[in-house]
């Protein structure tokens, strides 16, 4: 499943009259064509409005800034591209006057050693340094391409654009974000405490709902309500439900319907839900199926009222455009210091699991809680083995002691190493894992970690560190 909401970039084509300006019109066309191939929308001054469709003079800078301001609600980021040296003041002025507050990527064209004539020499190598110097003077944060100069036709530059688009998606998605906390923090989980005020300062609001209200809405919902029947049908289509009592399916469906309504009415993008053990004792199911289905639809849902865990999931799904899960860094794996076991009871989205054989996802009961509240009250988990493949992990945390938001991110692989257990589980491998664990423990991070099945750690680091101004550790 992917998020089809495309990224829109404002494009500044830099120019400096001492250098061949014909390179600008050709370069402009190449860059626009690449952006269109990547599915990225473009906001750029009309080609005939400026010299060779580029920006150099004070008047051209004002024209470009005016356009960007008029389209500020559409623009998610800005690409500065330099087919020749470029005018550093013009670029910086456009960004200052437009005042968009979005990510900026600075790109410079590569020269050809075989054509360094006065008519075709770019000097973009040098011009990029000057542009970056000015942006630093102006206090404008910016990102760089993986190589100092790059041909637009190269696959490496296309990959840089994809990474930058992911950064833009994350920053865009965090503006005026609304999260829902359903139920109180379980008493035994001090680890998921968070600062609602620090999140609010970052533009992220939390809407709370007491479990009594949710259960009250459920009691008012008729068993034969069309929405309940539709939800049961959706569960049957979502995963295997062999052996699950009809009464449990009915309860899960009502729970899912009421959570969906709460999210829609409050304009929520993600949720964190109390589970352990109120819903089991006083309602008779676990919420995992509803949560798994939401996460698989890119409506991230975290358990144990872990709001910042839900935020971590949300950031990863926006970067990758595929679902994210909340996992426990849970067990070592033999004597390999770089391997371990991730686990949850579970509410993992079905796209995380293998889909064939005995390890394929299915609905079941929650084996841990069943020992205290009875098996009949714990149906609704989604269990199975995490499929092998690359993943990105991330955790955001509100550090009340220092009054700031912190995060870490990195990449690893889920492996096919032998493992037999229950719940949702998998074996992972992360290079230098012991260093990461030491950092997590010394920094007071939680045992929960978000993961998505894609490689987007670089984009997450840029978005949260450079543009949200959070403290980010990148475990590279």
pLDDT in tens, 116-167: 666 678 899 999 999 999 999 999 999 999 999 999 999 999 999 999 999 9
CA atoms within 13 A of residue 316's CA, in its CB half-sphere: 34
pLDDT at 118: 62
Say which DSSP state 109 is in.
Answer: P
pLDDT tens track for 383-428: 999 999 999 999 999 999 999 999 999 999 999 999 999 999 999 9
pLDDT at 2: 42
pLDDT confidence tier of residue 324, bands split at 50, 70 and 90: very high
Tokens of 300: 């991230």
- SS3 for 13-24, per residue? EECCCCCCCHHH
Phi and psi at residue 399, in whole multiples of 5°?
A: -95, 95
Average model confidence (pLDDT) across the chain: 96
Q: Which of 64, 316, 27 is nearest to 174 (CA)?
A: 316
Q: Note the helical H segments in 71-141.
A: 88-98, 124-138
Q: Is the pLDDT of residue 233 over 60?
A: yes
Collapsed DSSP state (helix, strand, coil) of residue 394: strand
pLDDT tens track for 356-374: 888 999 999 999 999 899 9
Collapsed DSSP state (helix, strand, coil) of residue 86: coil
pLDDT at 32: 98
pLDDT tens track for 7-29: 999 999 999 987 878 899 999 99
Do you find a cis peptide bond into 277, omega within 30 degrees of 0? yes
**Tokens 């006057």 identify what position?**
97
Q: Is the pLDDT of residue 1 over 90?
A: no
Counting residues of the chain whose pLDDT is more than 70, the rounded percentage is 98
Dist. CA 436–CA 9, nearest whole Å:
35
- Full-model pTM: 0.96
Tokens of 410: 């990195």
Give the chain's domains with CATH numbers: 8-174 (3.40.50.10940), 177-475 (3.40.275.10)
Counting residues of the chain whose pLDDT is more than 90, the rounded percentage is 93
Tokens of 159: 């990959």
41 near 8, Cβ under 8 Å?
A: yes
Collapsed DSSP state (helix, strand, coil) of residue 61: helix
Q: Which of 452, 244, 426, 253 is nearest to 351 (CA)?
A: 452
**Tokens 């760089």 identify what position?**
144
Dist. CA 433–CA 440, nearest whole Å:
10
Dist. CA 3–CA 319, nearest whole Å:
10
pLDDT tens track for 255-298: 999 999 999 999 999 999 998 889 999 999 999 999 999 999 99
């Amino acid at each position: 499943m992917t998020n089809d909401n495309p990224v829109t970039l404002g494009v500044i084509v830099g120019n400096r009259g001492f250098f061949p300006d014909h390179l600008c019109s050709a370069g402009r066309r190449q860059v626009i064509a690449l952006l269109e191939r990547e599915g990225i929308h473009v906001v750029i001054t009309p080609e005939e409005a400026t010299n060779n469709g580029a920006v150099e003079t004070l008047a051209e800078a004002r024209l470009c800034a005016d356009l960007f301001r008029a389209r500020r609600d559409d623009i998610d980021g800005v690409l500065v591209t330099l087919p020749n040296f470029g005018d550093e003041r013009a670029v910086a002025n456009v960004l200052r006057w437009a005042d968009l507050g979005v990510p900026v990527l600075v790109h410079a064209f590569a020269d050809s050693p075989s054509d360094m004539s006065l008519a075709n020499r770019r000097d973009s190598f040098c011009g990029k340094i000057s542009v970056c110097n000015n942006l630093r003077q102006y206090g404008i944060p910016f990102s760089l391409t993986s190589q100092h100069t790059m041909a637009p036709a190269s696959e490496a530059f296309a990959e840089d654009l994809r990474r930058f688009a992911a950064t833009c998606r994350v920053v865009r998605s965090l503006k005026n974000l609304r999260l829902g906390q359903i139920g109180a923090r379980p008493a035994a989980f001090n680890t998921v405490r968070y600062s609602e005020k620090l999140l609010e300062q970052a533009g992220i609001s939390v809407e709370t709902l007491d479990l009594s209200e949710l259960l009250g809405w459920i009691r008012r919902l008729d068993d034969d309500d069309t929405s309940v029947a539709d939800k049961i049908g959706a569960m049957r289509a979502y995963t295997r439900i062999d052996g699950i009592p009809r009464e449990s399916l009915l309860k899960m469906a009502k729970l899912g319907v009421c959570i969906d309504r709460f999210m829609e009415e409050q304009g929520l993008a993600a949720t964190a839900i109390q589970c352990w053990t109120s819903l089991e004792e006083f309602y008779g199911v676990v919420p995992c199926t509803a949560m798994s289905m939401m996460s698989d639809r890119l409506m991230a849902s975290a358990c144990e009222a872990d709001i910042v865990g839900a935020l971590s999931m949300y950031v990863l799904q926006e970067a990758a455009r595929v679902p994210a899960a909340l996992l426990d860094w849970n067990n070592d794996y033999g004597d390999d210091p770089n391997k371990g076991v991730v686990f949850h009871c579970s509410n993992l989205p079905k796209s995380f699991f293998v889909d064939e054989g005995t390890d394929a996802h299915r609905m079941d009961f929650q084996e841990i809680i069943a020992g205290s509240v009875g098996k009949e009250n714990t149906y609704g988990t989604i269990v199975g083995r995490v499929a092998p493949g690359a993943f990105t992990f991330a955790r955001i945390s509100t550090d009340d002691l220092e009054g700031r938001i912190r995060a870490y991110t990195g990449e690893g692989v889920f492996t096919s190493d032998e493992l037999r257990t229950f719940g949702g589980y998998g074996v992972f491998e992360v290079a230098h894992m012991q260093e990461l664990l030491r950092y997590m423990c010394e920094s007071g991070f939680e045992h929960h970690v978000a993961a998505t099945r894609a490689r987007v750690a670089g984009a997450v680091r840029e978005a949260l560190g450079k543009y949200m101004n959070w403290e980010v550790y990148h475990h590279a």
